[in-house]
Structure 1
Amino acid sequence: MSLHQLVYLSQSTRKLDKEELAAIWAQAKANNARIDVTGSLFYNGGWFMQVLEGPAPTLASLYATISKDPRHHDLRLLYNEPADFRTFVRWTMNMTNLEERQADKYQELIDIVEAAKTGRKIFGVSAAVTLLNTFKS
């Protein structure tokens, strides 16, 4: 099966605390390990941006499940393309809480989420591609 990368943006229905985010992260890691999915979730004051990597049919099914999750709305598919390799190969799911301001590449990630929210490109490239490129380097 071919490898794909999917990136989406969504708005949380309410602000989540550290414990709730930790529970989401733990569940995502466990679920993804079972279905051969890797990726990273970024949270920024009520907005989620997530990268998922895996077989295309698996990602389609997972995205359909995510779209029904009542913890968020305004789900926007930003990127869904074949990939030559996994960017987040080390993690079944990484999580970066940008509210903690301790994340590596903090300002760059804030700019990417803000660009995604408005549909703005960064140096002529979509926010999703910019996010993927940020972690490839």
Structure 2
Amino acid sequence: MSLHQLVYLSESTSKMSSDDLIPILNQAKPNNAAIDVTGSLFYNGGWFLQVLEGSAATLTALYEKISKDPRHKNLRLLYNEPAEFRTFTRWSMNMTNLDDRQSDKYEELVEIIEAAKAGRRIRSMSPAVVLLHMFRN
């Protein structure tokens, strides 16, 4: 299997609370585990930023399925590249709701999402690359 990492940004079609996000996480965990996908979903102010890791073919099919989900719109593929190793090895899916401001990386994650929304770089790197590097350390 050729390992890939895919990162996308999308806008929620409605504001979501922590209670709204729990069913997404509960559905994604077993679905991703069944197809050998790991990753993390970040939510902030009506925007999703998601990292998915798995085979290229699996991620292509999963992204196609995700693109049809009515809970979000304006999907933007930020990164889809081969990877030497998984960054999110512990999780078939993890979720961080930044609206709760409970993440130890809150400021950095908000900056990444804002940069991705604006199409700007951070320290001359794409927001997706900054995100992946943040969790590798």
Q: Which residue of structure 2 aligns with residue 100 of structure 1?
A: 100
Q: Secondary structure at the match of 1:8?
A: strand
Q: How far is the alpha carbon of 1:19 from its aligned partner? A: 1.4
> C-alpha offsets along residues 55-82 of structure 1, whole Å, 9 cap, x if unaligned?
1000000000000000000000000000
Distance, in Å, in 1 between the alignment partners of 2:58 and 2:20 is 25
In structure 1, distance between residues paired with 2:73 and 2:53: 22
| 2:45 alignment partner AA | G
1:19-98 correspondence to structure 2 within 5 Å: 19-98=19-98
For the residues of structure 2 that align with 1:33 and 1:52, how far apart are their CA atoms? 12
AA matched with 1:59: L
Q: Which runs of 5+ in 1 are unaligned?
A: none
- TM-score (normalizing by structure 1): 0.99
Q: Calculate the TM-score normalised by the size of structure 2.
A: 0.99
Find the residue that maps to 2:80 and give its secondary structure: strand
> 5+ residue gaps in structure 2?
none
State the one-letter code of the partner of 2:25.
W
Which position in structure 1 is the counterpart of 2:17?
Answer: 17
Instruction: Tell me, in whole angstroms, the C-alpha distance in 2 between the residues paired with 1:34 and 1:40.
Output: 16
Moved over 4 A (4+): none
Local SS of the residue matching 1:26 = helix
Amino acid of the residue matched to residue 91 of structure 2?
A: W
Cα offsets for 1:21-53 (capped at 9, x unmatched): 011011111100100000000000100000000
Alignment match, 2:134: 134
Deviations 1:91-134 (A, max 9, x none): 00010000001112100000000000001100000000000000
Q: Residue 122 of structure 1: SS of its match in structure 2?
A: coil
**DSSP 3-state at the match of 2:53:** strand
Query: In the TM superposition, what is the alpha-carbon distance from 1:86 to its structure 2 partner?
Result: 0.1
Aligned-pair identity in percent equals 69
- Partner Cα distance (1:52, 1:96) in 2: 14
CA distance in 1, matches of 2:72, 2:95: 17
